[in-house]
């Protein structure tokens, strides 16, 4: 039996808000990026802008459960939501165990929600390559909100910041002392900070976060708030939604939302260009060339590697035709 | 990978999911789900295979309901359906006649499930 992925048929159904068509188009853009151009050409003129919320934090802090709790409230207020939940791909086998949806069973049957799990498939930065493309599909589908949940992140996986308009960083009691909180990276990208699992304590983290945020230089006119939640009981979740809406309003009233939107596309354009240049480079410099370099390194030339790479690259000529 | 109903025997579903993960597959673990939730997940995630893990004795009822709902939505043939758990051998044929591609009872080796999926996946 053949599975049906006829783009024209799917687009027609998609435009009638058919979720099966949405699901299959996501499969196409995820598995065959070369189909994306053709698919996206069908949406020219669609002006719907969704509001994108990013949820990030270490493994096990309660991201999926919190997404479930947030969605419940947004759905009650009549909003439609597209969720993208990313979990890591094994670097050894390429397999993945995706366990985010299992926390969202409560809301999964609501007609105004669509949940898709993604494996990171080797993409660094806490998301996956297809996240941007799927967010565009959700916009074309007419979602009011898009919630992107990252993989459980470490200190330096904060690509979500490039895609989301409001980034929520989730922490839990026992995060670390005042030194941990001064570190660069994940702890500075939040527009809102959540200390989840408040039943386990966490007041000390809130105090330290507040002190750190008081000391931080604020350029955007937004001082990130800290909210305590218990995502299982729903405690504090209303207050989190309020903060998200406050931040949304802050961005809308200033020029910042426009900047964020522009940045989201600039980020993707840069990524697409580097990937194209990467492919050109691969075709110009053969595996044999690379092999030769690595071999000669082993023959007493290890301090020459910069010279050798420079030499190899000096023979590569990129040319770009100017066009209007 | 889903567990229809509220039968609490998670081990089988988890072990098989882990085995499939280690064979390089992406496994969406649904946990406890009702029939509607199973079908909705399979559609939204656009999976290749639906795995139903049951140890409650209700495998015939649940499988039939899942398959009927898939047919109602017109997507039954889009998926490969596998059933596993404590399933009496006498029910294997009944399940296959309903439209299940294969059934795995106690003592199954995960490698065999991997092999079957790889050979039978619908392209």
State both tokens at B8.
């609490």
At A83, which helix (H) or strand (E)?
strand A81-87
Whether the predicted pLDDT of A107 surpasses 60? yes
Q: Which residues of A4-30 are buried (b: 16+ CB within 10 A; e: fewer)?
A: eeeeeebbebbeeeebbbbbbbbbbbb
Instruction: Residue B39: name the closest of A15, A12, A109 by CA.
Output: A109
State both tokens at B27.
């496994």
- Tell me, what's the ipTM? 0.94
Percent of chain A past pLDDT 90, that is, above it, reads 71
* E strands, A187-238, in order: 192-195, 226-228
Taking CB atoms and an 8 Å limit, are A20 and B75 in contact across chains?
yes
CA closest to A4 among chain B residues: B78
pLDDT of residue A299: 87
Q: Report the residue from B20, B43, B122 with minimal CB separation from A19.
A: B43
Tell me the HSE value of A221 on the side-chain side, using a 13 A CA sphere: 12
Q: B46 to chain A, minimum CA–CA distance in Å?
A: 6
How much is the pTM?
0.93
Whether the predicted pLDDT of A131 surpasses 80? yes
- Given the candidates 3.30.70.580, 1.10.8.60, 3.20.190.10, 3.40.50.300, the CATH classification of the domain at A46-267 is 3.40.50.300
Higher pLDDT, A55 or A1: A55
Kindly report, residue by residue over B6-55, the tens digit of the pLDDT.
Answer: 888 999 999 999 999 999 999 999 999 999 999 999 999 999 999 999 99
Phi, psi (degrees; rounded to nearest 5) at A277? -65, -40
pLDDT of residue A119: 97
State both tokens at A41.
């050409």
Instruction: Residue A144: name the closest of A83, A84, A76, A79 by CA.
Output: A79
Taking CB atoms and an 8 Å limit, are B40 and A2 in contact across chains?
no
First to last CA, chain B: 20
Q: Where are the domains of chain A?
A: 1-45, 46-267, 285-324
pLDDT of residue B122: 66
pLDDT of residue A216: 86
Percent of chain B past pLDDT 90, that is, above it, reads 93
Instruction: Residue A146: name the closest of A159, A161, A131 by CA.
Output: A131
CA closest to B21 among chain A residues: A95
pLDDT of residue A1: 43
State both tokens at B34.
């009702």
What integer is the mean pLDDT of B56-85?
A: 96
- Number of other CB atoms surrounding residue B79 within 10 Å: 23
State both tokens at B65.
């309901």
State both tokens at B95.
């399940």
Q: Report the C-alpha gap between B66 and B61 in whole angstroms.
A: 9
Taking CB atoms and an 8 Å limit, are A98 and B22 in contact across chains?
no
Whether the predicted pLDDT of A2 surpasses 60? no
What is chain B's alpha carbon radius of gyration, rounded to the nearest angstrom?
13
State both tokens at A16.
């009638």
What integer is the mean pLDDT of A269-293?
A: 87
Higher pLDDT, A119 or A179: A119
Paired sense of beta strands A81-87 and A113-119, if any: parallel
Torsional sign, CA B118, B20, A159, A72: positive
* 3-class DSSP string for A148-160: EECCCCCCCCCCH
Cβ-contact A83, A23 below 8 angstroms: no
Taking CB atoms and an 8 Å limit, are A116 and B45 in contact across chains?
yes
Tell me the HSE value of A263 on the side-chain side, using a 13 A CA sphere: 14
CB of B122 less than 8 A from some CB of A: yes
pLDDT of residue A297: 86
The C-alpha angle A62, A63, A64, rounded to 5 degrees, equals 95
What integer is the mean pLDDT of A288-301?
A: 86
Kindly report, residue by residue over A237-255, the tens digit of the pLDDT.
Answer: 999 999 999 999 999 999 9
What integer is the mean pLDDT of A195-199?
A: 97
Whether the predicted pLDDT of A115 surpasses 60? yes
3-state secondary structure of A9: helix
CA closest to B75 among chain A residues: A20
CB of B31 less than 8 A from some CB of A: yes
Q: Which residue segments constitute the domains of chain B, with CATH numbers given?
A: 2-120 (3.40.50.280)
């Amino acid at each position: 039996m053949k599975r049906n992925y006829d783009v024209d048929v799917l687009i027609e159904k998609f435009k009638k808000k058919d979720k099966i068509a949405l699901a299959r188009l996501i499969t196409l853009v995820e598995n065959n990026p070369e189909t994306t151009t053709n698919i996206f050409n069908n949406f020219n003129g669609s002006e719907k802008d969704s509001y994108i919320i990013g949820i990030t934090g270490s493994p096990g802090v309660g991201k999926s459960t919190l997404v479930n709790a947030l969605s419940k409230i947004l759905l009650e207020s009549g909003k439609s939501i597209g969720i993208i939940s990313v979990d890591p791909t094994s670097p050894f086998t390429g397999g993945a165990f995706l366990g985010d949806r299992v926390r969202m069973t409560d809301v999964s049957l609501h007609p105004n929600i669509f949940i898709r799990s993604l494996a990171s498939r080797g993409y660094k930065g806490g998301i996956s390559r297809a996240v941007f493309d799927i967010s565009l599909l959700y916009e074309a589908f007419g979602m009011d909100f898009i919630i992107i949940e990252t993989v459980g992140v470490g200190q330096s996986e904060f690509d979500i910041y490039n895609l989301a308009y409001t980034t929520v960083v989730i922490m839990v009691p026992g995060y670390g002392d005042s030194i941990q909180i001064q570190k660069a990276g994940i702890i500075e990208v939040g527009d809102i900070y959540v200390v989840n699992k408040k039943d386990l304590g966490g007041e000390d983290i809130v105090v330290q976060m507040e002190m750190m945020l008081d000391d931080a230089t604020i350029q955007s006119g937004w001082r990130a708030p800290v909210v305590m939640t218990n995502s299982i009981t729903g405690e504090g979740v209303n207050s989190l939604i309020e903060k998200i809406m406050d931040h949304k309003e802050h961005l809308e009233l200033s020029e910042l939302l426009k900047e964020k939107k522009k940045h989201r596309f600039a980020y993707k354009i840069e990524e697409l260009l580097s990937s194209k240049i990467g492919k050109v480079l691969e075709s110009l410099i053969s595996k044999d060339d690379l092999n030769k370099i690595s071999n000669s390194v082993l023959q007493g030339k290890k301090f020459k590697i910069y010279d050798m790479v420079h030499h190899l690259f000096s023979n590569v000529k990129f040319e770009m035709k100017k066009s209007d | 990978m889903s567990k229809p109903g509220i039968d609490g025997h998670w081990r089988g579903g988890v072990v098989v999911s882990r085995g499939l993960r280690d064979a390089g597959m992406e496994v969406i673990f649904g946990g406890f789900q009702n029939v509607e939730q199973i079908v909705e997940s399979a559609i939204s995630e656009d999976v290749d295979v639906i795995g139903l893990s049951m140890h409650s004795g209700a495998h015939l009822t649940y499988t039939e309901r899942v398959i009927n709902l898939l047919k109602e939505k017109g997507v039954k043939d889009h998926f490969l359906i596998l059933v596993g758990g404590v399933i009496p051998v006498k029910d294997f044929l009944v399940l296959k006649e309903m439209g299940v591609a294969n059934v795995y009872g106690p003592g199954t080796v995960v490698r065999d499930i991997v092999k079957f999926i790889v050979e039978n996946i619908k392209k």
